[in-house]
A and B are shown apart, each in its own frame.
Chain A
Amino acid sequence: MHLTMFCTRVIARILYVNVSRLKVRHKHFCTDAATRVSGSNCGQPSPEHKETHDISNNIQHYDIAIVGGGMVGMALACSLASMPLTKHLNVAIIDSNPALGSRPYFNKDDPPDPRVSTVTPATISFFKDVGAWQYVEQHRHAYFDKMQVWDYTGLGYTRYNAQDINKEVLGCVVENKVLHGSLLSCIENTDFQKTIYPSRLSSMTLHPSPSSLGMDSTSSRPPLSSQRHLAKLELSDGNSLYTKLVVGADGGKSCVRELAGFKTTGWNYSQNAIICTVEHTIENGCAWQRFLPAGPIALLPMGDNFSNIVWTMNPKESTNRKLMNEDEFVKDVNNALDYGYGPHPTSSLFGSGEMFSWPRAGVTLSANDCFEVPPKVVKLASERLVFPLSLRHASDYVSKHVVLIGDAAHTVHPLAGQGVNMGFGDAFALSRVIAEGIAVGSDIGEVTMLKKYEAERKPANIMMMAILDGFQKAYSVDFGPLNILRAAALHGAHFISPIKRSIISYASGEQKLPLFT
């Protein structure tokens, strides 16, 4: 009310002003006076100022140095190359991985590599935006639109369908080398100014002393409380470089994270995962996950008649299963995906759900789908890789001149195939924050700008990690009779559509806070 009156008055006055303008117009007569470059005490920067930047002229200067050219580091480079506001940036990529030096080449007849990622629809659209998805599509990749999750107790199962969330696919399984190679091809086909250093970061100086930059160190100058120098990176091959921003994309054992002094929290699960490629006699079109007493086993479609196995178990079992002969291993896998450890779930076993009186409104289509047994594995098609599971999260993602993305900021176990999707989310968010900063003339190493990236990504990543950790905890302990509750949870997820929809959409990277919205 009060405000309305105020506004009306403003309008009235400004209109009045515009009227009065007609009267005062003639007063000013603008001339095209020649502009003098320097006035009385206006000085151009003196020669000594110029010098300051040339002292270290044998060392290259960059806008951004990406340490670690893995999938996430390359995704950042691609994203920067694709945006009008960032494509002019001068970027260094530091990684000794030889894959960065050569044009990616994949033989279609080779069986798929066991290192794969389940990319979510959000990641797919990010790849499409930066122009990298077309290269993925030229290689082996497997979309899937169905997912079945069940457990060994035989009490519950749930099936997800892409159509439940009005999507065509739930995700796509792609070999890591294909994702990486596609990002590489994508960037090769732009005129982005990037320099690849086939080396490793060995030390980092974030706040070089003024004299090391050739800064005037004569006394009288007042101390600047936030000096904005460049970061200096030294590499294992003896090269060094200066940069405004260091991006730590150097994986779970991040050197940047350590050198910048970021603390981490986390723990190791006393569990290992075995990953490998297997072959069927038919094509698999569904993602399968079954919870066993020692951890989940996942069977992901890989295209052709191949699938990928990610099987979590205790370390001793993993050693045994890595060493056992192939036939025995295949038998173990088939057992784990079928009758091993317990019966198939049937809906009759669970009654009609009255025990827990699940609301029946909004039953989704797939709720009526019947339990299915995954296709049989007939052959092992790759080596078996074993790696330990751990969860690690950096307490900060940014400080002056430094930012962490991907596994350097957060490592999760691959239970839901989220690891790299979180990293792609980081790369996308960071490149957008940099573009927004450039739009308003920010210094790209400036911490207030970088904090926006942290504010956007940290809650999302922590949420995802909490969910994955919760899953892991819920399924890594055999609760005996309590299993029925776990089964109920699965069964419940099967029938309560809104919740289920948000669980799937979260897992597919579509939503930020599924539990509270």
Chain B
Amino acid sequence: MASKLVRHRHLRALSSSSISINNHIRSPHFSNPNRAPLSFSYRLFSNASSSSSSSGGFQRPSSLKDLELAKFAAIAETWWDSEGPFKPLHVMNPTRLAFIRSTLCRHFSKDPNSAKPFEGLKIVDVGCGGGILSEPLARMGATVTGVDAVEKNIKIARIHADLDPVTSTIEYCCTTAEKLVEEDRKFDAVIALEVIEHVANPAEFCKSLAALTVPDGATVISTINRSMRSYATAIVAAEYLLHWLPKGTHEWSSFLTPEELVLILQRANITVREMAGFVYNPLTGRWSLSDDISVNFIAFGTKNCQ
């Protein structure tokens, strides 16, 4: 109880820009009990060439991790089956959209009572998969671009979005964040949910996201924490016991902790202003937002001007 309060107060403090430097802070390095600090910093701060353990040491300035992509391509047909492998994303969707709605409405001074509060905002959904997130964003009025590295996902997303005139306006393309940067695309908000744990180099990936964001624009990222609890719930329970996710969907060692995410975003010139956890209640089968960030968490940041 008390611990939650502490954390909560802290998360609040994040959103206020004047954070005083505290004398008690004396831990410049990360010591995660679950992982050797060395290998961790190696992975995070190495450059792209030394990062790809699973793409066979193939050097390219890209976030792609072929093995990860193959896993998604294999189950692409099931994106819109709300009882299928992507069920967790479907069930979590209202909760994470509630977070996005409230943070973006506040940041862009949009009317929270409007049915289409995102009207006038250009949003890119990076790693959009079948469009589970892109479609609600379009219904909320945003001009949405969805990109994914897997061609099959984009095809599924296109067909599904075309079923409804409102979502048929979504621009889908099979590409990566880096390529969009090369094309000099800019968006008011850049969103990448449940993607960063699948990319080869999270730090580079965040830099691409930042480069796509207009000054004072927003970036929203969600992922799974690298904690013992996340190992237990996200991998053992979701993949092996409940069979929600195909086995091997997640590689625990590539998960980021909230503080790591904040740090790499900071280095990419994005200041995290709000963070929340998702907790699952097995009795109601629902997810809700909480200050418990120990398993799934979502962060909202803004791009620093200049």
Contacts and interface: CB of A to CB of B under 8 A. Distances in A.
A515 interface: no
A24 interface: yes
Nearest to B174: A41
A30 B215 contact: yes
Given A3-B3, A7-B7, A439-B98, 16 more contacts: A15-B21, A16-B27, A18-B271, A25-B304, A28-B269, A30-B214, A33-B184, A35-B184, A36-B183, A40-B173, A223-B77, A224-B77, A225-B80, A439-B115, A440-B93, A441-B138
B47 to A, nearest CB: 15
27 contacts: A7-B4, A10-B10, A10-B259, A10-B293, A13-B262, A17-B263, A28-B269, A28-B304, A28-B306, A34-B184, A42-B171, A43-B171, A45-B169, A88-B115, A221-B159, A222-B76, A222-B152, A225-B77, A225-B84, A226-B80, A226-B82, A228-B163, A438-B115, A439-B98, A440-B94, A440-B98, A442-B139
Contacts of B233: none
A86 B115 contact: yes
Given A12-B27, A448-B90, A228 B184 contact: no
Interface string B65-80: 0000000000011101
B2 to A, nearest CB: 7
Interface string B134-153: 01111110000100000010
Given A7-B3, A43-B173, A17 B162 contact: no
B163 A229 contact: yes
Interface string B1-17: 01110110010001000
Interface residues of A, number: 69
A43 to B, nearest CB: 7
A352 interface: no
A10 B7 contact: yes
A480 interface: no
Given A36-B184, A42-B171, A441 B164 contact: no
A29 interface: yes
Given A33-B184, A35-B186, A4 B6 contact: yes
A25 B185 CA distance: 22
A166 interface: no
Contacts of A30: 214-215, 303, 305-306
A53 B161 CA distance: 12
Interface string B97-133: 1100100000000000111000000100000000000
Contacts of B25: 12, 15-16
Contacts of A20: 263, 266
Given A12-B27, A36-B183, A438-B115, A4 B2 contact: yes
B195 interface: no
A39 B139 contact: no
A13 B304 contact: no
Contacts of A21: 266, 271, 304
A263 interface: no
A27 B303 CA distance: 12
A39 B175 contact: yes
B67 to A, nearest CB: 22
A8 interface: yes
A469 B114 CA distance: 44
A44 B171 CA distance: 6
A215 B159 CA distance: 9
B32 to A, nearest CB: 9
Contact of B19 (A18, A32, A53): A18
B97 A441 contact: yes
Contact of A222 (B2, B156, B162, B294): B156
Given A27-B269, A39-B175, A223-B77, A440 B258 contact: no
Contacts of B19: 15, 18
B30 interface: yes
Interface in A284-338: none
A288 to B, nearest CB: 42
B238 interface: no
Nearest to B293: A10
B6 A8 contact: yes
Contacts of B6: 4, 7-8, 11
A50 B30 CA distance: 53
A14 B168 contact: no
Given A35-B122, A228-B163, A29 B306 contact: yes
Nearest to A29: B306
A85 B115 contact: yes
A84 B113 contact: yes
Contacts of A439: 98, 101, 115
Nearest to A226: B80
Nearest to A448: B82
A224 B160 contact: yes
Nearest to A54: B165
Contact of A42 (B138, B145, B184, B215): B145
Nearest to B5: A7
B24 interface: yes
A12 B259 CA distance: 9
Contacts of A33: 184, 186
B171 A442 contact: no
A227 interface: yes
Nearest to A229: B163
A361 interface: no
Chain B CB within 10 Å — which of A6, A14, A222, A436 has the most? A14
Q: Which 3 A-B pairs have the closest CB atoms?
A: A441-B136, A30-B215, A42-B173
Given A7-B7, A36-B183, A440 B136 contact: yes
Given A52-B162, A85-B115, A443-B135, A39 B180 contact: yes
A437 interface: yes
B281 interface: no
Interface string A36-66: 1011111111000110110000000000000
Contacts of B39: none
B88 to A, nearest CB: 12
B164 A228 contact: yes
A38 to B, nearest CB: 7
Contact of A6 (B81, B152, B266, B294): B294
Interface string A422-441: 00000000000000111111
B175 A24 contact: no
A512 B104 CA distance: 36
Contacts of B293: 10
Interface in A207-224: 213, 215-216, 221-224
Contact of B185 (A3, A9, A36, A45): A36
Contacts of A84: 113-115
A69 to B, nearest CB: 24
A17 B173 CA distance: 35
A19 interface: yes
B259 A14 contact: yes
B143 to A, nearest CB: 10
A225 B81 contact: yes
A108 B184 CA distance: 72
Contacts of A45: 158, 162, 168-169
A53 B164 CA distance: 8
Given A7-B6, A21-B266, A225-B81, A440 B122 contact: no
